[in-house]
Amino acid sequence: MGRIARGGSYLGKYDQVIEQFPAFHVADKVILLGGVMIWIMLLVAIWARFIVGRRRKGPSGTMRVKADVTEGFEKLADAIGDDSVAVICATGFQYSLDVLAPWKVDYYGTINLVDACRKVGVSRFIFVSSILVNGAAMGQLLNPAYIVLNAFGLVLMAKLQAEQYIRKSGINYTIVRPGGLKNDPPNGSIVMESEDTLFEGSISRDQVAEVAVEALLHQQSSYKVVEIVARTDAPKKSFEDLFSSIQER
Ligand SMILES: NC(=O)c1ccc[n+]([C@@H]2O[C@H](COP(=O)([O-])OP(=O)(O)OC[C@H]3O[C@@H](n4cnc5c(N)ncnc54)[C@H](OP(=O)(O)O)[C@@H]3O)[C@@H](O)[C@H]2O)c1
């Protein structure tokens, strides 16, 4: 049995989407692909601030485990457990007086999660980052979004450093860089572009969750950085087509 750990309650807002991918859906896909490996995946959330060693069952058998990504990889490794098959990292710092919060959560927290994966043998890592993380290199230094986001503790720079750590780590990654997040239901089709391409646009949180989960189901997403927004005038494409259209670097 395998399970997916997801970091950050950001995806907690996506519980309905996660519910669309229950164990049988994933198991069906695996059976169709080969009929050999039947993984029944349980979605596990690494939830809040502290590992409490207490696990409680959520709707439809999901399990929630409390953890703080800043507390070091050993504790996270315990939270993830050795029966996880993938980690989806969707953490983001909370605004506070601590100007180092983005570095603690978005940078070191991500590093801790990657190191925890190595410790327990999890080889698949999905990281929710952001468009414009590499804004300086894209000629977007004066883009208001780039300026505003970096004004809060250089969060985009922290995320870019985290991305670089992931890419060098050897883990099988997919880095998902969404545009501005909306709580509204999806409006428009997902547009997926390669890294350092998009510098504006928004997307429903539901669609970000969908992309993160679909990345686990499509080999074409491996070792790729994808930037996503939603557009009402864009054609609807399958996830296979979307991920296949992005070149691995
Ligand atoms: N907002 C946007 O428009 C936007 C655009 C592009 C990319 N992004 C990226 O998407 C991610 C989520 O953004 P968001 O706006 O949805 O943020 P959010 O609602 O604040 O979600 C982030 C979650 O991370 C969790 N978290 C924070 N510190 C943690 C820690 N030390 N240990 C474990 N979990 C921790 C929090 O869980 P608790 O609730 O338990 O504290 C929080 O719910 C961020 O990485 C952000 O950079 C956001």
What CATH number should be reported for the domain holding residue 54?
3.40.50.720
How do residues 182-215 score in pLDDT, each as one tens digit?
999 999 999 999 999 999 999 999 999 999 999 9
- The whole model's pTM is what? 0.84
- Residue 208's identity, in one-letter code, is V
* Ligand 1 mutation pick, 6, 9, 64, max ligand atoms within 8 A of CB: 9
Mean pLDDT of 72-99: 91
Domain that holds residue 36: 2-244
Domain count, the chain: 1
pLDDT higher than threshold 90 for residue 216: yes
Residue closest by Cα to atom 5 of ligand 1: 180
Pairing of strands 224-231, 189-194: antiparallel
In a domain, 215, yes or no: yes
Residue 48 Cα to ligand 1 middle (Å)? 11
pLDDT higher than threshold 60 for residue 9: no
Is the minimum distance from the CB of 94 to ligand 1 under 6 angstroms?
yes
In a domain, 158, yes or no: yes
Looking at residue 153, what is its pLDDT?
84
Q: What would the two tokens of residue 213 be?
A: 């989960």
Residue 89 Cα to ligand 1 middle (Å)? 10
Mean pLDDT of 216-227: 97
Detail the DSSP E strand segments found in 107-198. Answer: 124-128, 172-178, 180-182, 189-194
In a domain, 249, yes or no: no
In a domain, 120, yes or no: yes
